[in-house]
Every structure is written in C-alpha cells, then in structure tokens.
Amino acid sequence: MIEDLLDVSRVITGKLKIEFQPVSFASITEEVINSLRPPADAKQLQLQASINPAAGPILGDPARLQQIVMNLLSNAIKFTPNGGRIDVRLERYDSCVRLEVKDTGVGIDAEQLPHIFERFRQADSSNVRAHGGLELGLAIVDYLVRQQAGTVSAGSEGLGKGATFAVEFSLMSMEAMGSSLAAVQLFTERPCSDIENSQTSSDEKLKHLRILVVEDDPDTQELLKTVLQRHGAEVVSAGSAASALAEFERAKPDVIISDIAMVGENGYELIRKIRSLGPAAGGHVPAIALTAYASVADRRRALLAGFQTHLAKPIEPDDLLAVILSLTFQQDPETDRKRKPQEQKLTNDR
C-alpha cells in the first residue's frame, strides 16, 4: 500500500522515471508468474500460463514492466475465489506482443468498466472491506503502460463472470518495422495496428504543404515522412544539417521539422543559419524542433536558437499534426485566397 501511494505521488508530480532498454517481456512474465504461484496455490487457484518465448524484445523499463505484470496478476489472484482459475497468455502477432490475464473472479459491472483504471476506484465498494487495499494497482498499470507506448484494456461479461485484462506493446522496431530504437520512441500511445493500418485513416489536412524533415536516423526519418505524406504533405528529407541547407534552398519548404542531436552540425546550428538568410530567402520559415532533449532548458535553448516550437519525443501524431497546422495556417493556399480580398478591402477603406 505504501509503495502504491508513493508511485501515485511520483505520477502526480511527474517524478516516476521510465528507463528504456531492450527487454524480453517473456522472461519478465515468467518470473512474475513463478513468484506469485505460492499465493495462488494457497487459494487453490489453477494458474495456467502460456508464454511464447519469441514474444519480444520490446522497448521498456524492466522494473516497470515487471510491476505491470505483478499488479495485473496480483489483482486476478486477489479477486478470484478459492478454487478458481487464472490464465496468463503472452503472444506475439504482427508487430505486437500481447499479455492477457483472464480470471474466473468477481467480474466487473458494465457501468463500472470504463472507470476501472481510475485511482481509488473499485467496481464494488464491499470488495474493499473483503480484500483490503487502496485500489491503486490498475491506475498505476494504466500509467506505466501508456508511458511505455503501450495500450491496456479491461473486459468482463458482468459481476460473477470473471475479468480479462490485456496489455499490448510494439515489438522493437528492428523486428516490427525494420527500424532503429529511435523510431519506436518517435510516437507514443499508438495501438500496434495504427501504423500498419493508418492508410485507412489518412486525410488531406497537410495538402499543399511542403515539409522538410531533418533527421539523421534513416528509420525515424522514413517513419516521419510516411506519416506526413498520409496527411497529404509533400515531404523532402535530409540526414544532416549540411544536406538540409541544400534541400532548403532547392525545395523552399513551408515548414521544417528538425532533430537536434545529429552527426556534425546540430539542429541549433542549422536553424541559426536558416534564420540568418532573412525573409526574402525564406529565413522566416516556421520550424519545429522534434527531439529527445525534453527539459525546460532544452526547450528554451531551441526557442532562442530560432525554432517556433519545441516538441519532445515521444509525441502523439495528432499533436504533431496540430502544431504543423497552427504554424502554417497563414500559408494555407485556401486561407490565403479567402483572406486576400478582405485584406484588399481593408486597404481600400484606409
């Protein structure tokens, strides 16, 4: 209970740290299952496990992933009556790994299901007296999963009919997309199927915009390019500050998205050179710093160097899209055509 309260305090204050590294989710799941067999046996529960050893690796924090599995399985043991059954399944499919914990316990009422991951929330208040605890475990799971770019869900057919909790993470990029570590950290909170099926939800919001992407990691560069093109943008890319300057002069982009840490000249030096060109040469083009350097000092440095906006990886794709639209609103051809007659009328009135 004390550990849960401390974790919630860290979540609220933003001090709960996630340290990413390649992790075998299968090994972590097996370790947790073995550690919780004694309390399961004490309640005469049938604890069945089906673990695919190939379910991984994923990018995450080993300690926090262990906490996720521990909380879900402990919850199942806690709310499954003596003689019940718990099935733990870890599978690999497409570009994802999926952990499923299914029990024959007390179940969840349909009205309470949408609130099951809220802090201090429990489907049946009488369970608090019967089982004890502060009911923070699922809220912590929800936070930890989202912070590691995963998704978590809960399902139940009703009270007395058990519950199923499922967690999904993307495989490391080298397996899922042939990408590097950086590509996995580019976007966050995206269901595994989103990247593969995003063609079906593409739109033309960025139509008529030419975007220069400056990123020295080729896989991150390609992922950014793909996402932007699916929203109608014309994308040119560069892998260094030097090549970005050449592309800038040739392509005359409407907006720049640049990494900061690059081989050779960094993003700060690049944007300073572009700003020195002056407005006639496109030196006032809107620019976004998209970087893993996420501190307040990093943001301030990016803005002082000449970027309009500083975005920290990982980022929501919709947030990136919104920033691009906000920075380029006055450059939208349709908007310009509608605005010019009004501007002309104001000039004549004067």
β-pair type (255-258, 287-291): parallel
Neighbours of 214 (CB within 10 A): 29
Domain boundaries, the chain: 2-171, 180-336
Quick one: pLDDT at residue 130? 43
Interhelix angle 62-78/137-147, rounded to 10 degrees, is 150
Quick one: pLDDT at residue 173? 44
- What confidence category does residue 185 fall into, taking pLDDT thresholds of 50, 70 and 90? low
Instruction: Share the mean pLDDT of the chain.
Output: 79
Q: To which residue do tokens 């994308």 refer?
A: 235
β-pair type (163-170, 96-103): antiparallel
- The domain 2-171 is classified under which CATH number: 3.40.50.970, 3.30.565.10, 3.40.50.12500, 3.30.390.30? 3.30.565.10
Residues 6+ apart with CB under 8 A from 296: none
Strand partners, 258: 214, 289
Per DSSP, the three-state class of 170 is strand
Regarding predicted confidence, which is higher, 121 or 167? Answer: 167
- The domain 180-336 is classified under which CATH number: 2.60.40.10, 3.40.50.300, 3.40.50.720, 3.40.50.2300? 3.40.50.2300
Taking the chain, what is the end-to-end CA distance rounded to the nearest angstrom? Answer: 70
**Alpha-carbon span 115 to 178, nearest angstrom:** 37
Q: What sign does the CA torsion over 131, 136, 138, 144 have? A: negative
pLDDT in tens, 7-45: 555 554 455 667 777 888 999 999 999 999 999 999 999
